[in-house]
């Protein structure tokens, strides 16, 4: 069993943590003793969590945890955990950042030197060179208040790839389109798997469909507005091979009979219209249909403004139970409440 550390985005920390756990589950990677220390998630696993962390929108990097430290009376005490087997004559670097509100006054360069000394002592005959720019191996750490976590880097997120898919970069822009990271995290929360059927019944410009298709799912999108379907069609074509289907349909009467997972962003009556239906009534009618197309253990994820208290309607659907509820402040007048439901019985 190895220990891993994942450095999560601070923007929506609760969402980032839930997304990580959901992605591990989607990839069938058992994890144990998971803990969150500010933005640092630490857990144990017998299998590499790489594939799961790579699909997360709000995970910045993954490392095999090698050192934990504590700063006391301006002294850094290091505990060495297990270190990976590494090749000789390679270049290494140690990179540490401080995060959180109460940052220690202990300098990161002193921390880096202490860790580098431990690494040289451990790999005595390896002839490692230091290369701060193009190193073969990186030991990356995060210092949260007086606690330090340092690991051997396995993966670091490529932010440029995400930017390429932002709503403003797609061929057609539709008002109300969700940011890529948010769309990806919703898709992850519904634990969608490769080659399974993903469904977004309020698909708009296709943001969630794009993310689910990139994760290898067969994606089905429907929307009451044919212009949304046209927009999805053009946008999806620009990024992914055809592994999707688009339908003009009302989510109060779903056009499909089966899906493995649902994630969706129904309208809030702000930028996108509910077509005259009251928001909670629209959600209720959609859930009544959704429960019939999912099998036991499948996930249904949706969001709605917090001020509407969308969780109030869940009790009317005993075939679902509430797995988790996450609030995300988008701007002064909108906090999105994400509801994660699991189907209880067929």
Instruction: Point out which span in 12-20, 74-82, 260-268, 325-333 binds ligand SAM (CB under 6 A).
Output: 260-268
Bridge-partner residues for 59, per DSSP? 8
Binding mask 169-188 for ligand SAM (x = CB under 6 A): -----x-xxx----x-----
Q: Does 49 bind ligand SAM (CB under 6 A)?
A: no
The CB-of-298 to ligand SAM minimum distance in angstroms stands at 20
User: In terms of CB distance, is 158 or 278 closer to ligand SAM?
Assistant: 278
The CB-of-101 to ligand SAM minimum distance in angstroms stands at 32
Residue of 110, 194, 275, 307 interacting with ligand SAM (CB under 6 A): 275
2: tokens are 């190895």
User: For residues 200-219, which are near ligand SAM according to CB under 6 A?
Assistant: 201-202, 204-205, 207-208
Q: Does 229 bind ligand SAM (CB under 6 A)?
A: no
The CB-of-167 to ligand SAM minimum distance in angstroms stands at 7
Number of residue whose CB is nearest ligand SAM? 204
- Answer yes or no: are the C-beta atoms of 90 and 43 closer than 8 Å: no
User: In terms of CB distance, is 227 or 312 closer to ligand SAM?
Assistant: 227
Residue of 59, 217, 265, 283 interacting with ligand SAM (CB under 6 A): 265
Q: Does 272 bind ligand SAM (CB under 6 A)?
A: yes
How many other CB atoms are found less than 10 A from the CB of residue 275? 12
Residue of 136, 145, 166, 225 interacting with ligand SAM (CB under 6 A): 225
Q: Does 303 bind ligand SAM (CB under 6 A)?
A: no
Instruction: Give the binding site for ligand SAM (CB under 6 A).
Output: 174, 176-178, 183, 201-202, 204-205, 207-208, 223-225, 228, 250-252, 265-267, 272, 274-275, 282
């Amino acid at each position: 069993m190895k220990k891993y550390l994942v450095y999560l985005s601070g923007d929506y920390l609760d969402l980032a943590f839930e997304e990580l756990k959901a992605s591990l589950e989607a990839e069938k990677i058992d994890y144990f003793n998971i803990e969150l220390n500010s933005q640092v998630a630490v857990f144990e696993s017998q299998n590499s969590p790489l594939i799961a962390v790579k699909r997360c929108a709000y995970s910045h990097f993954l490392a095999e945890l090698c050192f934990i430290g504590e700063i006391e009376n301006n002294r850094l005490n290091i505990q060495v955990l297990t270190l990976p087997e590494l090749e000789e004559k390679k270049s290494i670097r140690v990179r540490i950042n401080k995060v959180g509100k109460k940052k220690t006054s202990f300098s990161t360069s002193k921390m880096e030197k202490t860790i580098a000394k431990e690494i040289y002592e451990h790999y005595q005959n390896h002839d490692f060179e230091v290369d701060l720019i193009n190193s073969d191996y990186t030991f990356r750490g995060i210092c949260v208040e007086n606690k330090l976590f340092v690991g051997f880097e396995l993966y670091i997120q490529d932010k440029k790839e995400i930017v390429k898919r932002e709503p403003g970069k797609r061929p057609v822009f539709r008002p109300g389109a969700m940011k890529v990271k948010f769309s990806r995290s919703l898709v992850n929360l519904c634990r969608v798997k490769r080659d399974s059927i993903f469904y977004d019944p309020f698909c708009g410009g296709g943001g969630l469909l794009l993310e689910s298709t990139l994760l290898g799912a067969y994606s089905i999108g429907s929307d009451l507005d044919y212009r949304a379907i046209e927009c999805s069609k053009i946008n999806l074509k620009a990024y992914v091979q055809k592994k999707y289907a688009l339908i003009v349909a009302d989510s109060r009467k779903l056009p499909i009979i089966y899906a493995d997972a649902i994630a969706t962003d129904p309208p809030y009556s702000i930028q996108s219209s509910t077509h005259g239906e009251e928001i909670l009534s629209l959600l209720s009618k959609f859930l009544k249909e959704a429960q019939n197309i999912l099998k036991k253990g499948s996930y249904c994820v949706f969001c709605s403004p917090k001020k509407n208290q969308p969780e109030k309607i869940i009790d009317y659907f005993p075939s679902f139970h509430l797995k988790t509820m996450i609030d995300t402040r988008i701007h002064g007048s909108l906090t999105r409440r994400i509801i994660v439901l699991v189907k209880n019985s067929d």
